[in-house]
Chains A and B, each alone.
Chain A
């Protein structure tokens, strides 16, 4: 480049597009070295944990669903699990299956939304899905069809796709009949083909080299790909450290959120290290539990075979955030298959829910939101009123890893000579969207302009 790069440079991208919620990015570059990359989340403070205090034990599922319009089911499911845990109730059998089905619906629509509307435009040089619908109409039509099928599953079970009304602690207000569920089968069979085609489509994208250096954290279940339950399991970035799990009740001891004055957001740390949750982590921790069909799709897509047991044995861990779109596409295929399986085995339960009598105590719940692990904890008094609530969403956990990712990518870009603002902006926006951050979920992010600290 002929222009000498200024010794000191600051870049602000005032608003990132095609992410949920609002966020800005602040980069400091000194002498060609990136000294800081910071996501400034300016989603205004929202006080859900405070609003929950004094509410009845039946209320958190509806209330917390309003934290995020993109993954309301995840909030409802984590809340239900935490409350049921506190009340000593286990929901199993067909009611548990229905919950997994509902969650599959959200996975299908949310992952498809991200793949087609938010992420794919980056790989194909378009600004948005509208541009994409001109250059790749059949792929957009397929994406809309898939998303609609995901919505149809959530709508049938939940009443509507955003903030479903039919979920309650103990199960549902009304359980669908077999015949009602059968209506979905035909659409889901079409969706199976659409999901395969989506995997093939995204497999053809060009993936820049990158590797996210962070521990991977996801829930693990026995015998099945974890979605609506599981034990937190870690695959450390340092290959010399073995994978490990810990009980959910110890979650906040392992994943600690700190508010620090030089940072713009609450930062989470997993055992004092950076960590990442979401598709890449799920693939690493439970990939071997995917269905044969999903595994075949993953292999065709170039993901290889997942590790046979978190990190142990042979198999490939994917650390390239650009390739998260491949794992998402495979997960959509899996969710469609799971939905079909659950419907085929469905028997309408005698009652739509089990009783969850209030009692004093503390309960923990975690599920795999499309974007990663979502943890809830509630404490109740004798009357079943919430005395304390704690919510740790995936984006809060991923922020440190995303920032580190940005720092390395921008550094690599600068080393290649891509120093213009436009180039760096594009690079960063892509890097952030790789992680599908859900800023709306940041129930308690804060804004802090570092300039004020000088």
Chain B
């Protein structure tokens, strides 16, 4: 453009958005913040966000959002480079935070999987596991959900800009369900529901629509999974059903709860 350069505004923090093995849904949540999008763009310089822009500027970045799990040898290298370029790194979504649905392979025979999907598995390069970003580099904050919640994402970005810790509650979906005034689907209809052990964030969507929570936000901060199992059995689930119920979108995180009584992911306090 030929207009004279206006006086330079103060440098805005630089945002980088990066994708690993994922469905793009969590990045899309950023584009779905229609009301806030232009405001966010005014506060942050979008330096790298391939889904949205051809402009791909090199680091360092002040805030990096990572979507997707680490699932190839190249990913392992790339996440290290990105971390080195990131002042503050936040994972967005179940894939980046707990390995996501892709982590189903961690408990299976990947060679067999390759043969199921590809006629010539020898052409494919992949890892036998799908791991969270925190398994490879330090992470400043982990935002849960498959996909993440729009409101929580805006809170994380706002908190970053204000230099404080995001106010993301660690309690279970049940709290939100009560606040919403829902009838409990387990108590009233005997519908199995993971709400008591699942991290809040969605506003108790599933019970609001009359179905049981299937755990897409992963385990809540303190959970008593063993206490829930007999309830699910009472409601007609076999051991195998319960296994599949817990092992879908946050496989590794719920497995960690089963094994150690602790969620496999924890909120890490950021430098602010």
- A residues with a Cβ closer than 8 A to B are 15-22, 43-47, 49-51, 53, 55-56, 59, 62-63, 66-70, 72, 113, 117, 121, 127-130, 133, 140, 144-145, 147-148, 151, 159-163, 165-166, 168, 172-174, 258-259, 261, 266, 352, 429, 440, 443-444, 446-448
B32, B50, B214, B244: the one contacting A22 at CB < 8 Å is B50
Chain B contacts of A172 at CB under 8 A? 209
Check B134 for interface membership: any CB of A closer than 8 A: no
How many residue pairs link A and B with beta carbons under 8 A? The number is 175
A69, A258, A261: the one contacting B23 at CB < 8 Å is A69
- B52-60, B79-87, B164-172, B257-265 - interface stretch: B52-60
Q: In the bound complex, do residue B210 and residue A151 qualify as a contact, i.e. CB atoms below 8 Å apart? A: no
Q: In the bound complex, do residue A162 and residue B32 qualify as a contact, i.e. CB atoms below 8 Å apart? A: yes
- B residues with a Cβ closer than 8 A to A are 19-29, 31-32, 34-35, 37-38, 41, 46, 49-56, 71-72, 75, 100-102, 104-105, 108, 110, 112-114, 116-120, 123-126, 146-147, 202, 205-206, 208-211, 214, 216, 241, 244, 248-249
Q: In the bound complex, do residue B24 and residue A69 qualify as a contact, i.e. CB atoms below 8 Å apart? A: yes
Chain B contacts of A50 at CB under 8 A? 105, 108, 112-113, 116-117
Chain B contacts of A444 at CB under 8 A? 117-118
Taking A50-B116, A148-B34, A160-B202 as contacts, is the C-beta distance between A44 and B71 under 8 angstroms? yes
Q: What is the CA–CA distance of A43 and B68 in the complex, to the nearest angstrom? A: 11
Q: What is the CA–CA distance of A17 and B108 in the complex, to the nearest angstrom? A: 34
Q: What is the CA–CA distance of A448 and B244 in the complex, to the nearest angstrom? A: 34
Q: In the bound complex, do residue A62 and residue B104 qualify as a contact, i.e. CB atoms below 8 Å apart? A: no
Q: In the bound complex, do residue B209 and residue A47 qualify as a contact, i.e. CB atoms below 8 Å apart? A: no
Taking A130-B41, A162-B32 as contacts, is the C-beta distance between A17 and B56 under 8 angstroms? yes
Chain B contacts of A22 at CB under 8 A? 19, 50
Given contacts A18-B54, A21-B24, A49-B117, 10 further A-B contacts (CB under 8 A): A20-B24, A43-B21, A44-B75, A45-B124, A53-B116, A128-B54, A129-B52, A162-B28, A446-B124, A448-B123
Q: In the bound complex, do residue A165 and residue B54 qualify as a contact, i.e. CB atoms below 8 Å apart? A: no
Chain A contacts of B20 at CB under 8 A? 44
Q: What is the CA–CA distance of A130 and B12 in the complex, to the nearest angstrom? A: 15
Nearest CB in chain B: distance from A62 CB, A: 7
A68, A159, A160, A173: the one contacting B24 at CB < 8 Å is A68
Q: What is the CA–CA distance of A15 and B35 in the complex, to the nearest angstrom? A: 29
Taking A44-B21, A72-B25, A166-B209 as contacts, is the C-beta distance between A17 and B50 under 8 angstroms? yes
Q: What is the CA–CA distance of A121 and B208 in the complex, to the nearest angstrom? A: 39
Nearest CB in chain A: distance from B227 CB, A: 24
Q: Which of A46, A159, A160, A444 has the most CB of B within 10 A?
A: A46
Taking A69-B147, A130-B41 as contacts, is the C-beta distance between A63 and B53 under 8 angstroms? no
Taking A22-B50, A127-B53, A159-B206 as contacts, is the C-beta distance between A47 and B211 under 8 angstroms? no
Q: What is the CA–CA distance of A21 and B25 in the complex, to the nearest angstrom? A: 10
Nearest CB in chain B: distance from A334 CB, A: 22
Q: What is the CA–CA distance of A56 and B247 in the complex, to the nearest angstrom? A: 13
List the 9 shortest-distance A-B pairs measured between CB atoms, nearest first.
Answer: A69-B25, A128-B53, A17-B54, A50-B113, A144-B34, A69-B23, A173-B211, A50-B116, A162-B147
Q: In the bound complex, do residue B209 and residue A173 qualify as a contact, i.e. CB atoms below 8 Å apart? A: yes
Write 29 A-B pairs (CB below 8 A) sorted by A numbering.
Answer: A17-B53, A17-B56, A18-B50, A18-B53, A44-B21, A46-B21, A46-B71, A47-B104, A50-B105, A50-B108, A50-B113, A63-B101, A66-B146, A72-B23, A113-B31, A128-B53, A130-B38, A130-B41, A144-B37, A151-B32, A162-B25, A163-B216, A165-B206, A165-B211, A174-B211, A259-B119, A259-B120, A440-B24, A444-B118
Nearest CB in chain B: distance from A28 CB, A: 20
Q: In the bound complex, do residue B124 and residue A70 qualify as a contact, i.e. CB atoms below 8 Å apart? A: no
Q: What is the CA–CA distance of A47 and B104 in the complex, to the nearest angstrom? A: 9
Chain B contacts of A56 at CB under 8 A? 241, 244
Chain A contacts of B116 at CB under 8 A? 47, 49-50, 53
B50, B118, B241: the one contacting A259 at CB < 8 Å is B118
Chain B contacts of A258 at CB under 8 A? 119
Nearest CB in chain A: distance from B54 CB, A: 4
Q: In the bound complex, do residue A161 and residue B75 qualify as a contact, i.e. CB atoms below 8 Å apart? A: no
Taking A70-B24, A163-B216, A259-B123 as contacts, is the C-beta distance between A117 and B113 under 8 angstroms? no
Q: In the bound complex, do residue A159 and residue B209 qualify as a contact, i.e. CB atoms below 8 Å apart? A: yes
Q: What is the CA–CA distance of A18 and B50 in the complex, to the nearest angstrom? A: 6
Nearest chain-A residue to B206 (Cβ)? A165
Q: In the bound complex, do residue B54 and residue A51 qualify as a contact, i.e. CB atoms below 8 Å apart? A: no
Nearest CB in chain A: distance from B201 CB, A: 11
Nearest chain-A residue to B104 (Cβ)? A51
Chain B contacts of A448 at CB under 8 A? 123
Q: What is the CA–CA distance of A121 and B100 in the complex, to the nearest angstrom? A: 33
Q: In the bound complex, do residue A159 and residue B104 qualify as a contact, i.e. CB atoms below 8 Å apart? A: no
Q: What is the CA–CA distance of A151 and B52 in the complex, to the nearest angstrom? A: 18
